[in-house]
Amino acid sequence: MTSPRLFDLAGRTALVTGAGRGIGRGVARALAAAGAAVAVNDVDLGRAESVATELGEAGAKAVGLVADVTDARAVAELVAAAGSALGPVDILVNNAGNAGAGRGYDGAFVPFWTSEPHSWQPWFAVNLFGVMLVSHAVLPGMVERGHGRIVTVVSDAGRVGEPYLVPYSAAKAGAAGFTRALAREVGRHGVTVNAVSLGTVRDPADTREHDPDADAAQLRRYVVRRFGTPDDVAAAIRFLVSEEASWITGQTYPVNGGYSLNQ
């Protein structure tokens, strides 16, 4: 007798936002390896198509799609295109973050009282309203079919607070609150909604140099003395979108090497 494969996603269609590199790419790879067809979204079409090609070469069904998650019309077109290419979206991973295309952590790392109010908006546009827009677009189909999984990537900045990242922390905390409220609303329709809250994650593919002394000081705040990787995040998300996690909803899972234990 053959045992069923754990966390099998065969027959499911996943949409991963911000998946052209880093954490999003790692999540797309993990879901494809589990059998899901994957719509790879990014604001850069070249990055999205590159990851989709990588997944296709590994035997998965995948498509690269460009869209800015802060644009409601673009999001509606994104979800429609994913459905047309791969089938209705069963799984959404809200991964797109920071302050939007080309901004990185622009406007961060300053005392809040010295910041300009106009600099707060990009953080909320991507990390909160972008999450809400994409979730809003996929939910009607999930509710109609009686099945869906939504996982949002938040941050320990939103759980325990992070100085000099106050707008980002506030937006991520908002996304976690959105997760809990939405979970209560859609659970009766077979849709689960969860979040993963991250510490510092480093992509091995990122070759930028880092200050060893600064890294050592930062790692003293972690119980597991290393930075996270996209694979660490992807493993948690692969579980949460699987049938094995069908009785888990409204939760925020720390994936952080014990960072919050040392606060």
Arch. (CATH architecture) of 13-262:
3-Layer(aba) Sandwich (3.40)
* pLDDT tens-place string over residues 215-237: 999 999 999 999 999 999 999 99
Place of tokens 């677009």: 137
Q: In the β-sheet with 191-198, what is the strand arrangement from edge to edge?
A: 62-66, 37-42, 13-16, 91-94, 148-155, 191-198, 252-255
251: nearest Cα among 237, 261, 263? 237
3-class DSSP state for residue 97?
Answer: coil
Q: Which residues neighbour 75 within 8 Å (Cβ) at sequence distance 6 or greater?
A: 67, 69, 133, 134, 137
* pLDDT tens-place string over residues 64-94: 999 999 999 999 999 999 999 999 999 999 9
* pLDDT tens-place string over residues 108-140: 688 999 999 999 999 999 999 999 999 999 999
Q: How many Å is the Cα radius of gyration of the chain? A: 18
155: nearest Cα among 109, 107, 123? 123
* pLDDT tens-place string over residues 143-157: 999 999 999 999 999
> Is the Cβ–Cβ distance between 232 and 259 less than 8 Å?
no
Rounded to a whole number, what is the largest CA-CA distance in the chain?
A: 65
65: nearest Cα among 102, 89, 90, 38? 38
**Residues 32-37, mean pLDDT to the nearest whole number:** 98
201: which DSSP letter?
A: B
Helices (H), the chain: 22-33, 45-57, 72-86, 121-124, 131-145, 156-159, 166-186, 212-219, 230-240
Query: Quick one: pLDDT at residue 258?
Result: 92
Which residue among 168, 222, 253, 259 is the active-site one?
168
Place of tokens 């429609």: 80
Q: Report CA dihedral (44, 136, 14, 39) to the nearest 10 degrees.
A: -30
Query: Quick one: pLDDT at residue 101?
Result: 64
Catalytic residue flag (residue 253) = no
* pLDDT tens-place string over residues 44-71: 999 999 999 999 999 999 999 999 999 9
| C-alpha to C-alpha distance for 148 and 132, rounded to whole angstroms | 15
Tell me how far CA of residue 172 lies from CA of 16, 18, 130, in angstroms.
Answer: 18, 16, 11
> Is the Cβ–Cβ distance between 250 and 193 less than 8 Å?
yes
Domain boundaries, the chain: 13-262
